[in-house]
Structure 1
Amino acid sequence: MKNIVPVKWLLARLYEPDIVIVDCRFQLGKPESGRAAYEEAHIPGAVYLDLEKDLSAPIGEHGGRHPLQDLATLAARFGQAGISNESRVVAYDDQGGAMASRLWWLLRYLGHTNVFVLDAGFSAWRDVGCPVSSEQKVIIPARFLASVQHNMLIEMDEVRESLGTGRFVLLDSREAPRYRGEAEPIDKVAGHIPGARNLFWAEGRRADGTWKDANEQGERFAGLGLKQDDELVVYCGSGVTATPNVLALEEAGFTRVKLYAGSWSDWISYAGNAVATGEE
């Protein structure tokens, strides 16, 4: 798995100078809990980046619940966290990889490919007796130069214009009841973008919390009839839990994958956008 690293891999490289470990723990609805968990115990040397304060822009009229941060601001924040263009970055969370995958995607979007997600997250690290610490690392700022990969992102207008044309395959990463419009605990409107297929992001993990391998991920996507030359657009509620599906698609060998970062919460912020319910 080229994007996922096991606990033993990180343990063996814990103090190598080019490794930057980033704690991304965050709970929706409890925005302070992630930092509190980090301050209580984290992987030694890890820095903390907050989903809403560091990895998202402030909420506006459009852009969804976790808008993309201004790219210059984001690059500067990575540098402040000690991430340079030469760093090997390992991200972890305790939310099934969703928050860590957001950081993975953002760094890749800014041209930094040497970034990984820790398999099964912080609990797996601690449960096998690996060291933890409450000490906060003295961060030496680094120079991070962005090289934006525009082909990784798609905007709302292009999604809307593509509806009914077959240009893209749309993948909705939310749980099935939200996709079908039967339940909507977060956003103001229930349903999905017309034509989208549903593939819940958490099904990319096994029962023990580890990520499925490339073959297993490939079986997930084959079950939806996806082909590796398809051009895919992945979305979720706010652009966060779509990123584990983007990562899983890359693991399975898909190369034409775009993220609709604003996702459903951005889509419904435009009054004229169509909404579908039920199965497609």
Structure 2
Amino acid sequence: MAASNIVNVQWVRERLERGERLVLADVRFSPKEPRYGRDAYDKDHLPGAVFVDFKAGLTDPAREHGGRSPLPTVQRLAGLFGGIGIDRSTTVVVYEDGNGPAAARLWWVLTYLGHDDVRVLDGGYRAWTAAGLPVTGEKPEPERREFVPAVRPELLADVDEVRAALSRPGEAALVDARDNNQYLGLEAPFDPVAGRIPGAVHYFWKDGLNEDGSWKTAEQLRERFGALSASKEIIVYCGSGISATPNVLALREAGFRNVKLYAGSWSDWISYEDNPIATGEE
């Protein structure tokens, strides 16, 4: 069994106490408050943590196609990570306030660029402070490093691959990570068209978490995804490629390996007039 991508506060604390080199990446974010992440980081953060501006760093401005939160270019992402002291040999631990899409998106982006040692801090900032561990307002001065990407195209799906998946349901599965009302097409709070990609199965991303907000165990996640076949290609989408990433992370924890993110997601799908749309129960 591969090592978990999710670690707890004790795992991080022990490595910091031993003086191991970790880059802690603070990616706290609120879609309703553009300054929230920066202000929260400026107030205090885990010792030595660097700040990643979620919206400015991990998304590009929307265009006609590509969805509401397109991926930046590989070159821009490599420059961002190198500038905060990350290369592909660095152990990186990403965190936000709790367990949400921002940390999972950063985990996925780094993994997509070829990084093999990226972890998500279970419970994030809240779990760290609840354990009585220290935070600081001091900002580090990271040593710039060269992040040399080794892109893993097998982790990313575009609209053509999703269309192709519709024609081979026996070989590919589409997973919709949005809430049930969006999946059924009852509402579209962020997009002009409601509905889902035909044939998609519903796995709301928050169902990967326990009632206290912590991540479910690998065994629980395997049970959660028990209806999916590990032999199939699995393509995960949401509204704009952000809240799908916790499901990608959960699938990886459950042992699935052929998992792709449809980065453009629903907001990209509906930008093509000829793409089919489903609503209601299957």
TM-score tier by shorter-chain length is over 0.9
Which residue of 2 is the match for residue 52 of structure 1? 55
Which residue of 2 is the match for residue 266 of structure 1? 268
1:52 is paired with a residue whose SS is helix
Partners in 2 of 1:119 and 1:258 — Cα distance?
Answer: 23
Which residue of 2 is the match for residue 253 of structure 1? 255
User: What is the CA-CA distance between 1:18 and the residue it aligns to?
Assistant: 2.3
Matching residue's letter, 2:177 = S
Partners in 1 of 2:12 and 2:105 — Cα distance?
Answer: 19
Partners in 1 of 2:167 and 2:33 — Cα distance?
Answer: 39
What do residues 56-111 of structure 1 show as CA deviations (whole Å, max 9, x unaligned)?
A: 11221111111011001111111001101210000001252311111111111011
The answer on whether the counterparts of 1:96 and 1:202 sit within 8 Å (CA) in structure 2 is: no
Partners in 1 of 2:5 and 2:164 — Cα distance?
Answer: 32
What do residues 133-171 of structure 1 show as CA deviations (whole Å, max 9, x unaligned)?
A: 111111211111000001111111121233242131000
Task: Note if 1:132 corresponds to 2:153.
Answer: no
Q: Which of residues 209, 229, 232 is equivalent to 1:230?
A: 232
User: What is the CA-CA distance between 1:29 and the residue it aligns to?
Assistant: 2.2
1:35 is paired with a residue whose SS is helix
Which residue of 2 is the match for residue 175 of structure 1? 179
Task: Note if 1:187 corresponds to 2:191.
Answer: yes
User: What is the CA-CA distance between 1:231 and the residue it aligns to?
Assistant: 1.1
Which residue of 2 is the match for residue 206 of structure 1? 210
TM-score of the superposition, structure 2-length normalised?
Answer: 0.95
Partners in 1 of 2:238 and 2:36 — Cα distance?
Answer: 23
Matching residue's letter, 1:187 = D
User: What is the CA-CA distance between 1:198 and the residue it aligns to?
Assistant: 0.6
Q: Which of residues 80, 83, 86 is equivalent to 1:83?
A: 86
Partners in 2 of 1:188 and 1:38 — Cα distance?
Answer: 34
The answer on whether the counterparts of 2:26 and 2:94 sit within 8 Å (CA) in structure 1 is: yes
Task: List gaps (5 residues or longer) in structure 2.
Answer: none
The answer on whether the counterparts of 1:153 and 1:261 sit within 8 Å (CA) in structure 2 is: yes
Which residue of 2 is the match for residue 9 of structure 1? 11
| Root mean square deviation, CA, Å | 1.2
Which residue of 2 is the match for residue 68 of structure 1? 71
Task: List gaps (5 residues or longer) in structure 1.
Answer: none
Moved over 4 A (4+): none
Matching residue's letter, 2:265 = S
The answer on whether the counterparts of 1:97 and 1:117 sit within 8 Å (CA) in structure 2 is: no
The answer on whether the counterparts of 2:98 and 2:127 sit within 8 Å (CA) in structure 1 is: no
Which residue of 2 is the match for residue 23 of structure 1? 26
Which residue of 1 is the match for residue 221 of structure 2? 217
User: What is the CA-CA distance between 1:47 and the residue it aligns to?
Assistant: 0.7
Which residue of 2 is the match for residue 119 of structure 1? 122
The answer on whether the counterparts of 2:235 and 2:261 sit within 8 Å (CA) in structure 1 is: yes
Partners in 1 of 2:40 and 2:189 — Cα distance?
Answer: 25
Partners in 2 of 1:14 and 1:73 — Cα distance?
Answer: 29
User: What is the CA-CA distance between 1:237 and the residue it aligns to?
Assistant: 0.8
Matching residue's letter, 2:140 = K
User: What is the CA-CA distance between 1:51 and the residue it aligns to?
Assistant: 1.6
Percent identity at matched positions?
A: 49
Matching residue's letter, 1:264 = W
User: What is the CA-CA distance between 1:260 and the residue it aligns to?
Assistant: 0.3
Which residue of 1 is the match for residue 278 of structure 2? 276
Partners in 2 of 1:13 and 1:239 — Cα distance?
Answer: 32
1:14 is paired with a residue whose SS is helix
Partners in 2 of 1:95 and 1:200 — Cα distance?
Answer: 17
Cα 1:7–1:32 shift into 2, 3 Å: same
- Equivalenced residues, count: 278
